[in-house]
Structure 1
Amino acid sequence: MMPAARESLLDAAHTALARRPWSAVRMVDVAAAAGVSRQTLYNEFGSKDGLARALVRREADGYLAGVDRALATHADPRDRLTATAEWMASAARDNALVRAMLTGCWSERLPAPTLAAVPSSSAVPAQRRADGPLPSPGDFVRIVRDRAVTVLRGTDTVKPGGAELARSCEYVVRLALSCVAAPPGEGGIAELVREALPGQLI
């Protein structure tokens, strides 16, 4: 199957999920919305659980791509971390699957695929990857922290050593996650991040 068709099926599944609980999403309807046969859908994803894993994997990849964009947006390290925290909070606010992945709180409306790898006989490389382990909330903290450390360490304006920089980055990530559960008040997440970061970061 062409990647575009796979994306169309995932788009159709995402749209269906926005309208009804995952338990009420039917494979035949997803296939029809994407303009392919139900057999094609099963050939690509194997099962409804395979479709769910692929959808979660795609949302995870999109979330992490947004993290990378935020980290590349500014020159100032504080601005980079602020933009990353704002992206984390907005992505979770706007996307129920991202919110569930980051918090571990899966509502009854959502698919809740196991985070462990599942046996895969798929001939589709993208599906074999989706059938592999999915990131846990703790994994996301480490991934975003490590990406932030790597980007900031490559700049001339960051002063602290590795352990201190990693602590600052992890603190920002966890602060952003707290704003997912309890949205910040006036000043928003940017003010919280700037107050939390040590002055010696730059």
Structure 2
Amino acid sequence: MPTARESLLEAAGAALSARPWPAVRMVDVAAAAGVSRQTLYNEFAGKTGLGHALVRRDAAWYLDGVDRALASPGPSAERLAAVVEWTGRAAGERALVRALLTGCWNGNLPVPAGRGVRPGLPALGPAELVRAVRERADAAFATGEGALRCELAVRLALSYLIAPADQPGPGSAGLLQLVDGAGLSVPSPRAAAR
């Protein structure tokens, strides 16, 4: 049985998919979750806290999918393709994930912690997610080159999210051919010092 917090996040996510964040009412979220409004306020302290929790939940959902793609059986190229495909699919399914990956926020979405609310605090955004993907790839692949290739593949996928092509793109296999065709290799420490 889901906790009150989980039920509230599910209800808020459903409300956000139906209408813009400013139109989401706390009383409606509480009713949809089957809890009192006071329980909602006890869990999140208000609409801003609920919005921050939604952003964190969707970021975790995206990264869980990255973990599944990296852990899938098969050669590294297939696992990289799975990460690229997941990135595109996740961004298409959830507006918050798309905003987190692209950095393109609008007034229809809750504002992530640190962005526009409390200046100076780090906000969860594209750089943090790409860093998290690279760290996960670093753990999944035996070489630093695998993590670098994964980061490059995700960055290419993000470019398709930000500036979609007029025609169907190369797909994940085509993106990975671009990564391989770039002659990507890990720089030697000596070369990096130059």
TM-score in terms of structure 2 length: 0.83
Q: Distance in 1 between matches of 2:42 and 2:171?
A: 46
Equivalent residue for 1:191, pick from 174, 180, 186: 174
Q: CA deviation at 1:134?
A: 4.9
* Conservation of the 8 A alpha-carbon contact between 1:86 and 1:190: no
One-letter amino acid matched to 1:189: S
One-letter amino acid matched to 2:150: C
What does 1:10-21 correspond to in 2, within 5 Å? 10-21=9-20
Q: Distance in 2 between matches of 1:52 and 1:18?
A: 13
Q: Distance in 2 between matches of 1:67 and 1:169?
A: 10
* Conservation of the 8 A alpha-carbon contact between 2:114 and 2:122: yes
Q: Is 1:63 matched with 2:62?
A: yes
- Greater relative contact order (CA < 8 Å, ≥ 6 in sequence): 1
Percent identical pairs in the alignment equals 56
Q: Is 1:177 matched with 2:158?
A: yes
Equivalent residue for 2:140, pick from 151, 157, 164: 151
Deviates more, 1:180-189 or 1:70-79: 180-189
- Which digits, 9 at most, give the CA deviation of each residue in 1:69-120, with x for residues without a partner? 011113201111110011011101111000001111112211113337x89x
What does 1:39-78 correspond to in 2, within 5 Å? 39-78=38-77
Q: Distance in 2 between matches of 1:5 and 1:47?
A: 15
Helix, strand or coil at the partner of 2:3 = helix
> Number of residue pairs matched?
179
Q: CA deviation at 1:165?
A: 3.8
What does 1:12-161 correspond to in 2, within 5 Å? 12-115=11-114, 134-153=123-142
Helix, strand or coil at the partner of 1:106 = coil
Q: CA deviation at 1:200?
A: 8.4
Stretches of structure 2 lacking an aligned partner (at least 5 in a row):
186-194
TM-score in terms of structure 1 length: 0.80
Q: Distance in 2 between matches of 1:188 and 1:85?
A: 9
* Conservation of the 8 A alpha-carbon contact between 2:137 and 2:146: no
Q: Distance in 1 between matches of 2:141 and 2:177?
A: 16
